Amino acid sequence: MEWTGARYADKPTAEVHTWIAAPPAQVWAQVSDIELMPRISPELQSVEWLDGESGPALGARFVGRSKHEAFGEWATTSHIVEYEPARVLAWAVEDPEHPTAVWRFTLESQDGGTLLRQWMQMGPARSGLSFAIDRMPEKEQKIVFVRMREFEANMTATLAVIKELAERGHAPGKAGA
| 147: in domain | yes
Are 45 and 66 in contact by the 8 Å Cβ rule? The answer is: yes
| 3: in domain | no
pTM here is: 0.89
CATH of the domain at 45: 3.30.530.20
| 173: in domain | no
d(CA 108, CA 135): 42
Total domain count for the chain?
A: 1
| 175: in domain | no
State the DSSP string of 76-109: EEEEEEEEETTTEEEEEES-TTS-SEEEEEEEEE
Query: Per residue of the chain (177 residues), what is the pLDDT tens digit?
Result: 555 678 888 899 999 999 999 999 999 999 999 888 888 888 889 999 999 999 999 999 999 998 988 778 889 999 999 999 999 999 999 999 999 999 999 999 999 999 999 999 998 888 888 888 889 999 999 988 988 998 999 999 999 999 999 999 865 543 333
Structural domain for 41, as ranges? 8-168
| 30: in domain | yes
d(CA 32, CA 21): 18
